[in-house]
Chains A and B, each alone.
Chain A
């Protein structure tokens, strides 16, 4: 049986799109790899984050804010359908500054974003050390202030992925693990997707394979210039709740563990661990929160972000092969609600590239100077 839409990739982006498409009544097949895939969806931090998103692209600032606003609706629907508690909390968030230089950098970013027009800096503002300590009493004496936004939050990203998969299965989405896609063949207005376990036919095809998109984009005349960026995450023993709001690079989960993160390295597809990086992360966390000095780290890992040249998402329909799309970003958690609720229905309609003009990869088509 031919699917209406074949989605390449079963991570957070592909699963959110499959969920949104199934709500539109589409017959969806999701072609996923096995557990040896890079799986950014299983390595991420779990922020639903708005502040600082879209410095350089007002449309992305608006899109991130839009998704944060849609999140409670997505959570309610997924919890009702699956019984899974996603642990969504959106109490606002801060990014603490150590030293005046960081404070000036964050303030300058807010000014830049306000000058972009549109949603500007999404209500982000700088707060002084006293106000930051009123919000987060555990901040240490080195913190001189913070950037604050009322729209930030966090969620359990593993529960999100499981809830999407569970809801999709109940809705009849045909999820196929171990179906790594080898090639995509346009076929008279539809597509034959060749997988390691045979061909799958679909009226439309969506590349949502993260770092895997780069091997398939040319098959449907798309260009997806993304590269891996490695980040490390450290997780502590469980502690009684002490951190009510997410603090950018530090958040306490509902279960009590504290996560530290936000490193960035260009090391290709190497998912190994770099002790110098996690020492830096732990040191920063301890300076922001001296109270954590004797806390034990119980797990750490690295994962690869999917980064476009400017860090913003790429959404595009192939002009040469209409019905073939790419949807990729590095914020699959924050944008899950926008992908499921706003973007997925537009994969079934004409005019996708008009709706998402700002996110086209054509923005990278700048002639190199001779």
Chain B
């Protein structure tokens, strides 16, 4: 759906989404990288279960949440890609581990 502008001349970095390698450009937000790679579902709503993707791309709407290197609920539009980053869909809401006094 999205295409990159033809005149971009930046270095590439490789990250992963759901375990699959994705090429991005240095300075991309995770949201831009995933959209350019054709990802349409970033997360599902913890309320309705419905599939969601970026809406505002400026940090306000919280629709683009993903899990980054094991940390839940990161805003993909505000997080810059780094080599080797492991990004996953945010599935539902994180679960607190009450017995351990911290997050599972």
- On A, residues with C-beta under 8 Å from B are 137-138, 140, 237-240, 242, 254-256, 290-296, 298
Contact = CB atoms under 8 A, between A and B. Distances in A.
Nearest to A236: B73
Contacts of B93: 237-240, 256
Contact of B95 (A239, A254, A290, A298): A239
* Residue of A137, A290, A291, A292 ringed by the most chain B CB atoms within 10 A: A291
A293 B73 contact: no
Interface stretch (B10-18, B26-34, B96-104): B96-104
29 contacts: A237-B72, A237-B93, A237-B94, A238-B73, A238-B93, A239-B94, A239-B95, A240-B46, A240-B92, A240-B95, A242-B95, A242-B98, A254-B47, A255-B46, A255-B47, A256-B47, A256-B93, A290-B101, A290-B102, A291-B96, A291-B97, A291-B98, A291-B101, A291-B103, A292-B96, A293-B102, A294-B102, A295-B103, A296-B73
Given A290-B102, A291-B98, 11 more contacts: A237-B94, A239-B93, A239-B95, A239-B96, A240-B92, A242-B96, A242-B98, A255-B46, A256-B93, A290-B101, A296-B73
B11 to A, nearest CB: 30
A298 B78 CA distance: 13
Contacts of A140: 101
Contacts of B101: 140, 290-291
A138 B46 contact: no
Contacts of B95: 239-240, 242
A348 B17 CA distance: 64
Contacts, number: 45
B94 A240 contact: yes
B94 A291 contact: no
A137 B101 CA distance: 10
Contacts of B97: 291
Contacts of B94: 237, 239-240
Contacts of B46: 238, 240, 255-256
Closest 3 CB pairs of A and B: A240-B95, A237-B73, A238-B93
Contact of A138 (B62, B72, B96): B96
B26 to A, nearest CB: 26
Nearest to A139: B98
Nearest to A255: B47
Nearest to B97: A291
A44 to B, nearest CB: 21
A1 B94 CA distance: 56
B102 A298 contact: no
A180 B104 CA distance: 52
A27 B47 CA distance: 39
A298 B73 CA distance: 10
A250 B6 CA distance: 51
Contacts of A296: 73
A298 B47 contact: no
A294 to B, nearest CB: 6
B17 to A, nearest CB: 21
B92 A294 contact: no
A137 B98 contact: yes
